[in-house]
């Protein structure tokens, strides 16, 4: 079948990969940078503020790790994540730090049999010639269907650190190394407002310095802003057929990395 995918973030590219494995013809429409491009790259069993192991995390981690390895060993660090709880340091051994931009580029390269078009799709009528349509448009999903979703603004900081990090640090906030030595990401805010608050982004430094004091010396280079879209109730993403030939895959919130490949695989099986 000839399948169109709208959106080229984690979920869209994962969907492209899994559909290609079933010998479909895939065209990916990429309308610009979404939340995946500003992800700080934490992949572990208990995302979110409550640090509770998420639904079906073992299968999610396994499926995500398979795609990471396909994208290339230089797209991630598989050396655990240090979590700070009440002043104690604990290792999350399954934790992986993903270099988001490199991962997306590597996954796109792995999907070389797909056709990529740099264009934002405004109407399903533009895709009338395709046999199937998959919408992986993140925060824009509400434009396609009335779904029980909520938006949350997230800001993170690009910082230069005096001591290069080799492992991600997670507490009230988090610090993740990047593929560039001496550059790290500090995140993330959770803002239920129409616009991001610059002061909340700057406050991230004081927040992470509580468990990693050297953060006080970080030099802020830039601020990245994205919009998460998540279910109003619970954390399980939404895979739903919304027309005779159209599926929407959305609602990943802060769990995009752990669920993107698993749900893309479910989508490919459904189609």
Q: Dump pLDDT digits (tens) for 126-156.
A: 999 999 999 999 988 888 989 999 999 999 9
Whether the per-residue pLDDT at 180 is higher than 90: the answer is: yes
Whether the per-residue pLDDT at 37 is higher than 80: the answer is: no
The tens digit of pLDDT for each residue in 77-132 reads 999 999 998 778 999 999 999 999 999 999 999 999 999 999 989 999 999 999 99
Domain at 97, CATH number: 3.50.50.60
What whole-number percentage of the chain has pLDDT above 70? 97
pLDDT at 35: 65
Q: How large is the average pLDDT for residues 157-184?
A: 94
Whether the per-residue pLDDT at 48 is higher than 80: the answer is: no
Rounded distance between C-alpha atoms, residue 224 and residue 226, angstroms: 7
Peptide bond into 210 cis (omega under 30): no
pLDDT at 202: 96
What residue numbers bound the domain in which 170 lies?
Answer: 2-270
pLDDT at 32: 73
Number of folded domains that form the chain: 1
Mean pLDDT over each residue of the chain, to the nearest integer: 93
42-43 sheet: strands from edge to edge: 42-43, 96-98, 76-77
- Res. 14 pLDDT band, cuts 50 70 90: very high
Q: Which residue has the higher pLDDT, 48 or 241?
A: 241
The tens digit of pLDDT for each residue in 212-239 reads 999 999 999 999 999 999 999 989 999 9
Rounded distance between C-alpha atoms, residue 125 and residue 143, angstroms: 14
What whole-number percentage of the chain has pLDDT above 90? 84
pLDDT at 36: 76
CA atoms within 13 A on the CB side of 172: 10
Tokens representing 159 are 């910082």
| Model confidence pTM above 0.85 | yes
**Cα radius of gyration (the chain):** 18
């Amino acid at each position: 079948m000839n399948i169109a995918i709208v959106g080229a973030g984690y979920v869209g590219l994962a969907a492209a990969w899994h559909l290609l494995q079933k010998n479909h013809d895939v065209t990916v429409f990429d309308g610009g940078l979404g939340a995946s491009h500003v992800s700080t790259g934490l992949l572990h069993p208990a995302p979110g503020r409550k640090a509770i192991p998420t639904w079906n995390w073992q299968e999610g981690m396994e499926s995500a790790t398979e795609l990471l390895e396909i994208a290339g060993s230089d797209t991630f660090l598989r050396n655990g994540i240090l979590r700070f709880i009440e002043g104690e340091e604990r290792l999350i051994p399954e934790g992986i730090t993903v270099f988001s931009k490199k991962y997306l580029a590597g996954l796109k390269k792995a999907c070389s049999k797909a056709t990529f078009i740099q264009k934002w799709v405004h109407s399903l009528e533009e895709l009338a010639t395709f046999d199937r349509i998959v919408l992986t448009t993140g925060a824009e999903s509400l434009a396609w269907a009335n779904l029980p979703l909520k938006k949350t603004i997230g800001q993170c900081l690009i910082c230069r650190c005096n001591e290069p990090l080799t492992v991600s640090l997670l507490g009230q906030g988090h610090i993740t190394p990047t593929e560039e030595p001496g550059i790290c990401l500090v995140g993330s805010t959770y803002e239920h407002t129409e616009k991001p608050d610059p002061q909340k982004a700057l406050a991230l430094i004081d927040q992470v310095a509580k468990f990693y004091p050297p953060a006080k010396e970080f030099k802020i280079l830039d601020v990245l802003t994205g919009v998460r879209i998540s279910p109003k109730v619970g954390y399980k993403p939404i895979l739903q057929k919304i027309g005779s030939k159209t599926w929407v895959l959305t609602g990943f919130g802060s769990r995009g990395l752990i669920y993107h490949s698993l749900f893309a695989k479910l989508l490919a099986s459904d189609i």
